[in-house]
Chain A
């Protein structure tokens, strides 16, 4: 019925066309010269300044962590009934940041969104660093971190097993699986790129390191075949995993009966929030990377535009969740739920509630305008707002719900201490130190993947495609 003649063939209006994924002339060779050359060059002055700042934060933070471990977690502001505070807020915050990387590398890969290729590597690296930051907090929160291995079920001389019905144990499994899988995904993607670096470096030391790291990758077609299959499978598995990890984190709260925690919408809502926060962090870092590392032709404004659209979409999903939360607080006619919800918008910490709502719902609405999606000022403004907003969202969930629960005699105000802030600063220091180091020593763009989508990179039509 619809032969080719019937199909519309006229020119497609420009508004409907998508801009190209790279600007200017990019060839596989020029790509290597541009991206893989960084590690061989001396870093610019700004890099050292940046590293000095982040290292300072790192040292301060780890000082506070050392102090906490030596003294005990009484040095934090946690009290009864606010037994969870900054430690768990930061944990959830950082795990959430990590989700953007997996989303970009896995879910968008399955959807064949090719714009992901240029930014996937950085996002994956950020996943790994963020999960490392996240791991610190439960570790120091257990109080005796040197005994943290007790969390794993292994036959031991104590004659006891772990409690598999505890959501906190689920967390141990979810986060450690997430870290291992992300690391493997990231490393597999790096192998061909490191092989390229191995073959172009002139330094002997580097060559040896790269040789070992690239595992002797030689680009054989038979290897690529299994490699692509593995990559596809990993993407599929990581997609399920990314949904499960933040859902399991949300189970820490939602399986309880604490009003404000026990909500069935928590699992998907946490996942959406995680992607939301993670994308904002990726936007912030990408803008800096793009400017300082002269990658404007590879990470184009279009990439940022699409990222901002995803942020906008996630913001709307968050809005839906907030509305449902408020609606349920009323619809359930449950006085405890109602009380908790009123606390969010008008209690002692009402300012935090409104800050969360403004930063996560109102400010990102700016991204409806293309001008904001493509302007550095506005996108950074929104991304910073979202980062702040998502941190405070976890503050709202954890502190507000805990500080006033069923028992009015136990109500208590929570105040963080210097140590709390110090450890938070340290986690940011760790994260950005790792990001800076990564940008210097490893290829920040998955050159192999970008090469494969350059114009003319694939053979002209083959096989059974056309008659």
Chain B
């Protein structure tokens, strides 16, 4: 009793029934606020002490809903608004993917509200200065005995009357407790303030970081691949006078494997000589290409009777016509390379060698359609 003023009178009871019996008896005398101290929760004691219901359920519900909204809003804002990237073929705003985290954060908010709200807000724990903790009775209370305390509600607390009331109710042991020691050491308020401060600091630091990187990019500290000091091909760039990012090749540049033909017209091309021998391999290769690319219009025999119907307007050349049979190889080659009339150029699809192979094959077709007796004999000797 350091302060000299008594704060509460505590009576010990041996059984839960004794305690429960004492509560209405002592309560009726209205000597002060009643509080019971028990080693474990007793059924029905809240009603006996006329406690209001715990508000914890409502707090948890509100915080749970808040958690769900926070998590979903955060996920949505990040994935669909602030940093919209399509991953896995899913739309940036695909809500389905946000549900698992939303659920986890809901539970996290709710449990922290339930646990820490109960300890710090409702029970005001930790608190090490309560007189019950330094009383003689505490050993019995946390073990197997039940205590009923009449606590001072301000001025006019009559400790003697309280003692008498508890004894009359059947208390086996009586103790008078001093005022609580409201030392500043590690109280629930202190913890709440510190935690609140840390939280506020984190929010401020986060916002500052976000603002610095996103809104005022004065310092791009770690931009990695985002920002590269080079010119982009196909893009305009003021670095060069002509405003192109890409440079043109020097005049006279020739691509590898694409030497110019050195002739300017089909007539000039007549001078070109087929560099390939007319071997079975060459003819087979030429046949394949002719089959894939030429046959559709010129027909399988090259006679201008196409597999393509008349729906296609242009009239393909009959390669069996005398005019084409008289063509030098070079002029056929020219036609394939540069295209003729409705026929497009095949230069992009066929290499020079392939084109010459086709020329050989066309020659073979022409000869086969206009075969002479000598040809048949020659074939027979092979």
Interface residues of A (CB under 8 A from B): 27-29, 32, 153-167, 169-170, 173-174, 177, 180-181, 184-185, 188, 192, 195-196, 198-200, 211-212, 215-230, 233-234, 237-238, 240-241, 244, 247-248, 251, 448-449, 451-452, 456-460, 462-463
The 4 lowest CB-CB distance pairs between A and B, nearest first, are A28-B144, A155-B210, A215-B126, A230-B118
Would you list 25 pairs from A and B whose C-beta atoms are within 8 A, ordered by A residue? A28-B40, A158-B224, A159-B223, A159-B226, A161-B83, A163-B79, A164-B78, A164-B98, A173-B100, A181-B108, A192-B39, A212-B126, A218-B133, A219-B142, A224-B41, A226-B122, A226-B123, A230-B117, A233-B114, A244-B104, A457-B40, A458-B43, A459-B43, A459-B44, A462-B48
Give the one of A154, A199, A238 with max B CB within 10 A.
A199
Residue of B at shortest CB range from A228? B41
Question: Is there contact, CB below 8 Å, between B37 and A218?
Answer: yes
Give the one of A169, A223, A229, A459 with max B CB within 10 A.
A459
Question: Is there contact, CB below 8 Å, between B142 and A165?
Answer: no
Q: Using Cβ atoms and an 8 Å threshold, which residues of chain B touch A211? A: 128
Q: Using Cβ atoms and an 8 Å threshold, which residues of chain B touch A29? A: 143-144
Q: What would 5 more interface pairs be, CB under 8 Å, given A233-B57, A452-B40, A457-B40?
A: A155-B213, A173-B105, A216-B130, A220-B36, A462-B43
Q: Which residues of chain B in 96-127 are interfacial with respect to chain A, using CB atoms and an 8 Å cutoff?
A: 97-98, 100-101, 103-105, 107-108, 110-112, 114-119, 122-123, 125-127
Among B20, B87, B122, point to the contact of A166 (Cβ < 8 A): B87
Q: How far is the CB of B9 from chain A (nearest CB, A)?
A: 15
Q: How far is the CB of B367 from chain A (nearest CB, A)?
A: 47
Cα A173 to Cα B72 in complex, Å, equals: 13
Known: A173-B105, A462-B48. A229 touches B57 (CB 8 A): yes
Among B54, B132, B206, B214, point to the contact of A218 (Cβ < 8 A): B132
Cα A195 to Cα B79 in complex, Å, equals: 47
- B138 interfacial by beta-carbon distance below 8 Å: yes
Q: Using Cβ atoms and an 8 Å threshold, which residues of chain A touch B269? A: none
- B60 interfacial by beta-carbon distance below 8 Å: yes
Give the one of A160, A170, A226, A248 with max B CB within 10 A.
A226
Residue of A at shortest CB range from B213? A159
Cα A349 to Cα B88 in complex, Å, equals: 31
- B371 interfacial by beta-carbon distance below 8 Å: no
Q: Using Cβ atoms and an 8 Å threshold, which residues of chain A touch B206? A: 154-155
Question: Is there contact, CB below 8 Å, between B222 and A157?
Answer: yes
Among B56, B105, B133, point to the contact of A230 (Cβ < 8 A): B56
Residue of A at shortest CB range from B132? A218
Residue of B at shortest CB range from A31? B144
Number of interface residues of B (CB under 8 A): 83
Known: A159-B213, A161-B82, A215-B119. A449 touches B125 (CB 8 A): no
Question: Is there contact, CB below 8 Å, between B37 and A219?
Answer: yes
Known: A155-B213, A458-B42. A229 touches B54 (CB 8 A): yes
Question: Is there contact, CB below 8 Å, between B39 and A28?
Answer: yes
Cα A221 to Cα B19 in complex, Å, equals: 12
Question: Is there contact, CB below 8 Å, between A459 and B20?
Answer: yes
Question: Is there contact, CB below 8 Å, between A199 and B46?
Answer: no
Question: Is there contact, CB below 8 Å, between B118 and A156?
Answer: no
- B16 interfacial by beta-carbon distance below 8 Å: yes
Residue of A at shortest CB range from B85? A163
Among A32, A157, A195, A198, point to the contact of B221 (Cβ < 8 A): A157
Question: Is there contact, CB below 8 Å, between B130 and A221?
Answer: no
Q: Using Cβ atoms and an 8 Å threshold, which residues of chain B touch A155? A: 206-207, 209-210, 213
Question: Is there contact, CB below 8 Å, between B142 and A225?
Answer: no
Cα A452 to Cα B38 in complex, Å, equals: 11
Give the one of A166, A233, A237 with max B CB within 10 A.
A233
Cα A389 to Cα B260 in complex, Å, equals: 73
Cα A214 to Cα B44 in complex, Å, equals: 25
Question: Is there contact, CB below 8 Å, between A462 and B20?
Answer: yes
Residue of A at shortest CB range from B64? A237
Cα A316 to Cα B306 in complex, Å, equals: 71
Q: Using Cβ atoms and an 8 Å threshold, which residues of chain A touch B144? A: 27-29, 32, 451
Q: Using Cβ atoms and an 8 Å threshold, which residues of chain A touch B39? A: 28, 192, 196, 219, 448, 451
Question: Is there contact, CB below 8 Å, between A227 and B123?
Answer: yes
Q: Which residues of chain B in 80-97 are interfacial with respect to chain A, using CB atoms and an 8 Å cutoff?
A: 82-83, 85, 87-88, 90, 94, 97
Cα A27 to Cα B143 in complex, Å, equals: 10
Question: Is there contact, CB below 8 Å, between A164 and B97?
Answer: yes
Cα A229 to Cα B116 in complex, Å, equals: 13
Known: A29-B143, A240-B107, A244-B107. A459 touches B42 (CB 8 A): yes
- B47 interfacial by beta-carbon distance below 8 Å: yes
Q: How far is the CB of B95 from chain A (nearest CB, A)?
A: 11
Cα A229 to Cα B45 in complex, Å, equals: 14
Cα A195 to Cα B143 in complex, Å, equals: 9
Question: Is there contact, CB below 8 Å, between A221 and B223?
Answer: no
Residue of B at shortest CB range from A446? B40
Question: Is there contact, CB below 8 Å, between A460 and B17?
Answer: yes
